[in-house]
Copies of this chain bind each other. A is one copy, B any other.
């Protein structure tokens, strides 16, 4: 037990770590050192408990904590996998905080509009050529999917995400990444299907894109305001 504990002591701190903290760090290292890539399955709890020479409960507890941070995702009766680390870690945390307070839909929408309005304004000033390319791709994907009559929720979100990415503000990006899915799931669960004309949506997206391309901040803000008019309307009615 002690042998394993000290097998790769890198600093003095580790000497004072509890068993659980030690396991957490071990697994975290496995991930950050790319020995385990996102999507990979972790060894089973039993294997890990044997390998680290600790009880299964301790492994269990450690995994729960890591799952909390968004590094792992455990699938019941199947295994625990490494999830897309990075932003996800922050996301999982914030999402849970939001869930903890069960936000009202109106606040959610209000915040989203505010976020994207500002993001778009910044994007008009900061967008790189690469950003433009990404946005255009998302735009095309959205258009194609929509014109076939299919639902294009994912593609819609992707376009908005690219907008925010162009703002070059990582925090806003994270926040939109959290909030938009919340709104979508709300729409889903409440069976709200917007019967908006597809071409109208495409035109609105295009106008936002054009304004950003032209680095017209005011125009972009106005365009996205228009795009959100229906949502706003639904929300305040």
Contact = CB atoms under 8 A, between A and B. Distances in A.
Interface in A76-109: 85-87, 89-90, 93-94, 96-98, 100-104, 107-108
Nearest to A172: B111
Contacts of A122: 110
Contacts of A231: none
Contacts of A184: none
Interface stretch (A47-55, A62-70, A130-138, A220-228): A62-70
Contacts of A114: 114-115, 118, 172
Interface residues of A, number: 42
Contacts of A157: none
A179 interface: yes
Nearest to A169: B107
28 contacts: A13-B102, A24-B100, A25-B102, A61-B64, A64-B64, A65-B68, A68-B68, A86-B100, A86-B101, A87-B101, A89-B101, A90-B97, A90-B101, A90-B103, A93-B93, A94-B174, A101-B170, A103-B171, A107-B171, A107-B172, A108-B171, A110-B122, A110-B172, A111-B171, A111-B172, A114-B115, A171-B179, A175-B175
